[in-house]
Structure 1
């Protein structure tokens, strides 16, 4: 598991993903569009319940990463490679609980940081801005180093932007979701990735309600995670950025 306390230093490869015990810094200039259609394309996916597992979609193929894969397959010969994650003490997937990342990809989508932003214990937020910046910076450097020719796209936090939070006791409260989005975007950009905010999609209640509907994998919609319409909106945002609309 990635150690929050240090940046990744060297690269160690293991099929089908790069072990996230080590890593290297990556160049900031990276491809912003995919290569010409017609050939093979390796599609990497790394994320939490929304991106990595597609949770609360009604079927596996309506998860946003599956929708993107289906769209890519219209123009390329697609091979998908998923990274692997573990969980923190609260059983949540966070920026620092990634074990392996996809490598050798042409496109990598990353969806992490929502739990880092929201997780609370005993009424207090668990992760600080410093925690998130160190974890995100190390992770994006490792993703970029493992995928030197890839377009890297990162989703920000899925959540309510109206929730206010203060860095300390004397600083005026700000949107915690927006604050975490800015940290993740900063670290993504440092490694040449493309950050995309998605919190505005959360604001559309039709993208996550009603709760109590059956979803794949034995899940039941909870009113927080995206439903099929929400996954469709996430897919469309990334597809538009990639020029696949």
Structure 2
């Protein structure tokens, strides 16, 4: 199936340079648990041999590829190399900043890639996991509002494109109470469902990856050199983890 994004766009506010601005519609004050959405596939709608604009925006894992041993072994670079076997690829990067906790999250996207045929978005892990003074910083409604604004802007800036939203990189066994009456549940799975719901609203493809985090071989050991002056920290994906993310996204895109 080739996605017809033009029929799925929602309102967003963009300047000519595709600067990202929040949309006016906010999430409801109280949200019911979001459903698990079925997996979908979407081949890239560009004939082989043609130019393909490849957009990337994300956090340390997606935007910077941190904790891979080299920039060429980051998952977005591996995906770019795979695309280049079939298309003439030009990469277009969005820009992000950091919040008060010093992390990159859904609400700190400053500009989105535009005019692309394929865009990968890797934001939301910090929205799920960021803590301050022992408390989680972001609520489900915060994440829903920020994700809805970002993916609406992404759809408007890239009509006709396939947009991939990478899920939360984190431990699905992390338990959390939505409120005093709720039973403990997986915070990572809950946040993944929010991202999946927002992706579905905009015709984007949600690709969960938390199960990959569960394999210690994809993020351990800690203390190994990584590009950019980093050393592996046991949380971020190592080379094998980046390759696993790349392969999952490539499979979902049905790449040749």
| TM-score, shorter chain, exceeding 0.5 | yes
Q: Deviations over 1:21-79 (max 9, x none)?
A: 26699xxxxx9321221100000001000000000000000000000000101110000
* Aligned residue in 1 for 2:31: none
Other-structure match for 1:187? 198
The answer to whether residue 59 in structure 2 is matched with residue 59 in structure 1 is no
1:162-181 correspondence runs (5 A): 162-181=173-192
2:56–2:120 Cα contact (<8 Å) kept:
yes
Are positions 1:32 and 2:35 aligned together? no
Query: What is aligned with 1:4?
Result: none
Contact 1:8 1:21 in 2 (8 A): no
5+ residue gaps, structure 1, are 1-6, 26-30
Change (3 A) 1:69 1:108: same
Unaligned residue ranges in structure 2 (runs of 5+): 1-9, 26-40
Tell me which residue corresponds to 2:14: 11
Per-residue displacement from partner, 1:83-105 (whole Å, max 9, x unpaired)? 00000011100000000000000
Report the Cα distance in structure 1 between the residues aligned to 2:11 and 2:96, rounded to whole angstroms.
17
Distance 1:159 1:22 in 2: 26
Q: Is the 8 A contact 2:11 2:156 kept in 1?
A: no
Alignment partners' CA distance in 1, 2:134 and 2:22: 34
CA distance in 2: counterparts of 1:130 and 1:70, whole angstroms: 37
What pairs up with 1:1-245 in 2 under 5 angstroms?
Answer: 9-14=12-17, 18-21=18-21, 32-34=42-44, 35-244=46-255
TM-score normalised according to structure 2 size: 0.87
Cα distance in 2 for partners of 1:24, 1:59 equals 40
**Alpha-carbon distance in 1 for matches of 2:215, 2:240:** 10
Distance in 1 between the 2:12 and 2:235 partners? 36
Give the Cα–Cα distance (whole angstroms) in 2 for the partners of residues 229 and 117 of structure 1.
23
The alignment covers a number of residue pairs equal to 231
Task: Check whether the contact 1:24–1:141 (CA below 8 A) recurs between aligned residues.
Answer: no
